Structure formats: C-alpha cells, structure tokens
Amino acid sequence: MKELKIFTGTAHPELAKKIADSVGVPLGECEIKRFSDGEIWVKFAENIRGNDVFIVQPTHPPADHLLELLLMIDAARRASAYRITAVIPYFGYARQDRKDQPRVAISARLVADLISTAGTDRVLTMDLHASQIQGFFNIPVDHLYAARVFTDLFRKANIQRPCIVSPDLGNIKIARAYAKRLNAELAIVDKRRAAHNVAEAMNILGDVKDRNVLIIDDIVDTAGTIQAAITGLRAAGANSVQVACTHGVLSGVACERLTEAKVDAMYVSDTLPLRDPVNPPNWLHVASVAGEFAEAILRIHNDASISSMFD
C-alpha cells in the first residue's frame, strides 16, 4: 500500500489539520513563499516519491489560493507522487458554469481545465454549486455533501413543526433531501434576480405559517437572497427562521443584512474560513466537515466506495 500524505496551502490550514488528525496522519510539510513582487514559490519539504498525495486547498478569493493549488499539484507531479488528489472543500468560480449572456467566460470549466492540466489525478470536493460541473473534468471527481453533518445537527435539536425551504428553484433537490431526512414539510421561495448579488423574493410556494423554518443553501455570499427570503417567510407567518449553508462566503455587507433580517441562527460548514473568526455574530455557528473529508480520503486511499457514505 502506498503511503498516504496530506498537505495544505495557505487557504485554510486549520481545516487541513483537522482532516489530517481525523485520518490519523501528520500534516505534511510544504514551503510556500512569495517573492517581493508577489510571485508564489512552492516546495515540498519532504520526500513524496511514490506516495498517495492529498492537497487540501479551497479556492476562494483571492486568486492566489487557486494558483497555490496549481503550483502544489505541479510540484507533486514533478516529485514523482504516485497519485495526486486535489481536495477542494470550496470550489471557487462554480457560479459561472454556463454562458447565460453574450461574451462571458465559463469560469468553472476553465478552472476545471487548469486543475486537470496541472497534473491532478482526481478531485474531492463538496456541494458544488451545480452538480454538472463534475462533467467539466476529464478526471474522476468525488462529490461530498454537507447534508449528513447538518441533518445530524438538526435531529439533535429536535425542532418542532419544521419546514425546509429552498431559497430558489435551483436548490429544490437538496432541500427535498433535507425534508425527507428530517420528516419536515417543504416550501420554495420563487426568486427573481435583478443583477449580480441582487435578489428579490417574490412568492412563497408552500405553507410556512407557524412553522419553524430552515432555509437550505449551498453558498451564501452577500446574503441578498437569504435576506429577501427571511423577510418573505416572516411576512408569511413563519415562527422562526434558521439558515444552513455549506459555504459561508459572507462577503461585503452579508452579516449586516442577516442581522437586519433578524435571522434566528445560521449554520455554516468550515469548507472555507470565516471572514472574521475573532468576532463572529452571535447567530453564526460553524459545523466541521473535516470528518466527512477524512472518511472520503481514507476510502480513496483504500480504493473503497465513496457513494456508500450516503446510503
């Protein structure tokens, strides 16, 4: 059996350390430096020839995180690693997955091509914004879901009269899965988007009156969609409104919007670091997905099934 080694860039070393601890191996040593002009320099500080190498690196902004990942993959390939798996908890640029207007880039496909071309053998990621992005890769992609972590958390909370809400029509499938697991009602927010990062809630499809609502989403960025959804749900008579989101980007005025909307609680995973880890809002809670990634890494290393994790 080839030796398993886990490395990380500078994007989210805390998550990488948790994953390595869960797997039961030390986090590998990799030097990442910058020249005075900002260029990135990468070197593995230990022998990885013939090893099964896993590189943990979410690709949230700045773009240096993506470039670090590409350089680490290239360095591992040139160091004769047996297999290189890019572990990308948050796959950045996933929202640009199609040509929805003239003269725009399909960035998700470009990033997939860059990762493949750098020398990656396979990709391990979580809750892609669009599942079809897996098809942008010409290498195997293992797609994990945060649903198991969140549903376990909400089962223990024993929420009374729950209702799962999808904040838009595109998220219905995952919301339905949550509703089934939690034996809850299902509702949908019919949303129209006026521009990038600008959303307006139009109609609530389903009965949320006197219900304890749980909004399910994969990414919350500026929180415009969620703010509009919370406002609409409260107007429709919801008793309480909580949010569960895999990737809590929470950029710009997101936290101010959620505070203004009086969200009861928001749960995010640690696929990317909090923007303000020192002073997070009191309604914000983090659930770790390190265990999910650790189990998947061990299954990949042992050539076992990933899909059986979700049976």
d(CA 188, CA 4): 44
Strands 4-8 and 52-56: parallel
Task: Supply 3's token pair.
Answer: 């030796």
The pair phi, psi for residue 52, each rounded to 5°, is: -90, 100
What is the distance of C-alpha 41 from the center of its chain?
A: 27
In the chain, the amino acid numbered 175 is A
86 strand-pairing partners? 55, 123
Contact in structure between 212 and 233 (CB atoms under 8 Å) = no
The pair phi, psi for residue 51, each rounded to 5°, is: -95, 155
Residue 163 CB partners (closer than 8 Å, separation 6+): 184, 185, 186, 187, 206, 207, 208, 211, 212, 213, 214, 238
- Which strands, in side-by-side order, build the sheet including 4-8? 4-8, 52-56, 83-88, 122-126, 141-144
Burial (0-12, 13-18, 19+ Cβ within 10 Å), 64: middle
d(CA 260, CA 151): 27
Choice among 18, 43, 99, 191 that is catalytic: 191
Active site residue 99: no
Active site residues: 191
